[in-house]
Amino acid sequence: MTAYIKGLVARDRGVPPVVAQLRLPEVGPGQVRVRVRAAGVCHSDLAMLDGTLAPPHPLVLGHEAAGEVVEVGANVTRVAVGTHVALNWSPVCRTCWFCTHGEPWLCATANVAALENGMTLDGAPVHVTLGLGAFAEQVVVPENAVIAVPGELAWESAALLGCAVLTGAGAVRNTARVAPGDAVLVLGLGGVGLTVVAAARAAGAAQVIAVDVAESKKALAEAAGATEFLVAADTLSKDIRVRTQGRGVDHAFECVGKAATIRAAWRATRRGGHVTVVGMGRADDMLQLSALDIFTSARTLRACVYGGADPEAALPELARELLDGTLAVEHLITDRIGLAEIPAAFERMARGEGARSVVVL
């Protein structure tokens, strides 16, 4: 049965998003309908509005969410009505070269054909962010776009699993492989950056230096487990070396997505150290590094896509860690809001305020 629901829609580039009435499609074979209970406001959603990315419009925003399955189509085997799920914006095919060679986070088909999912606006198809369009009361998605989570996990925490937690924890564990005793630098303290801080401390890092442009992020950094906090400055490289016996950190995580910040992370890392780029930047923001410096420093520069993880395996494990307290995310949630308040949350995010606003539905 089709249903009308409310969702946050960006009707065109440069036009503030508004809450609008959307029509859901009927649930087909292999699909599920999910009542969204909570959704995180992520920088990737802001990137759809500020020009970092150029998605088609009109666009239903949102991709980091959790909810309850309320209807299943024919041949669905992974979940049933009543199952609590986190949405997975990068469902994998299991058959492409990357999936069959142990890199499902680089799946060649994930989101390739997911610009629409059957939602309509004013009778016409509407595009949806990363195949989900999760800033909505309900969504209809393929069953491989949902991952079951424990029923006792709070909706807000379950929502963050789908992007911030998986990305941040995966960057530490899968891509960088932070080891006990390491010195770590984290540049940018949004939801992902603060998760990197928490995961690095959980991995046994002896020193986690958190950096942001906003002094107000200090308390959040300390709550996440940072051993030190610095306000970003041109002297960052020197300041880091003062704190690391003149060497620089073993691992630097760039969680902003800007060439200037990547260079800062590079310069603050020791010879032979590792720089992991987690932030997603603009296509025209070009990075320059000296060819001689690349050779003599022996540093490694690499990116981390969706935590370098298989979401279907990683999310249930992370959910258990949230429940047993091994990994904490409560400090990430700085605002609980409704759909109509998301534009104001974007404005706070653009100003560098808070960590994660979570939409509670």
Query: What's the pLDDT score for residue 112?
Result: 52
Query: What's the pLDDT score for residue 14?
Result: 81
Across the strands, what pairs with 212? 231
Strand, coil or helix: 21: strand
Query: What's the pLDDT score for residue 17?
Result: 95
Query: What's the pLDDT score for residue 115?
Result: 65
Cβ neighbours for 312, distance < 8 A, ≥ 6 positions apart? 88, 92, 144, 147
Question: Is the distance from CB of 189 to CB of 218 less than 8 angstroms?
Answer: no
Query: What's the pLDDT score for residue 352?
Result: 86
Query: What sign has the CA pseudo-torsion 125, 129, 131, 133?
Result: negative
Among residues 155, 106, 273, 255, the alpha carbon closest in space to that of 195 is found at 255
What the chain holds in terms of domains, given with CATH numbers, is 3-148+329-360 (3.90.180.10), 164-306 (3.40.50.720)
Strand, coil or helix: 192: helix
Query: What's the pLDDT score for residue 344?
Result: 95
pTM score, whole prediction = 0.94
Question: Is the distance from CB of 329 to CB of 124 less than 8 angstroms?
Answer: no
83 φ/ψ sector (left φ>0, alpha ψ -120 to 50, else beta): beta
- The C-alpha torsion from 347 through 154 and 204 to 233, rounded to 10°, is 10
Query: What's the pLDDT score for residue 198?
Result: 95
**How do the pLDDT tens digits run along the chain, 361 residues long?**
568 999 999 998 888 999 999 999 999 999 999 999 999 999 889 988 888 888 889 999 999 999 999 999 999 999 999 999 999 999 999 999 999 999 999 998 876 545 667 899 999 999 999 999 999 999 999 999 999 999 999 999 999 999 999 999 999 999 999 999 999 999 999 999 999 999 999 999 999 999 999 999 999 999 999 999 999 999 999 999 999 999 999 999 999 999 999 999 999 999 999 999 999 999 999 999 999 999 999 999 999 999 999 999 999 999 999 999 999 888 889 999 999 999 999 999 988 888 899 999 9
Question: Is the distance from CB of 355 to CB of 334 less than 8 angstroms?
Answer: yes
Chain center to CA of 11: 24
Query: What's the pLDDT score for residue 54?
Result: 84
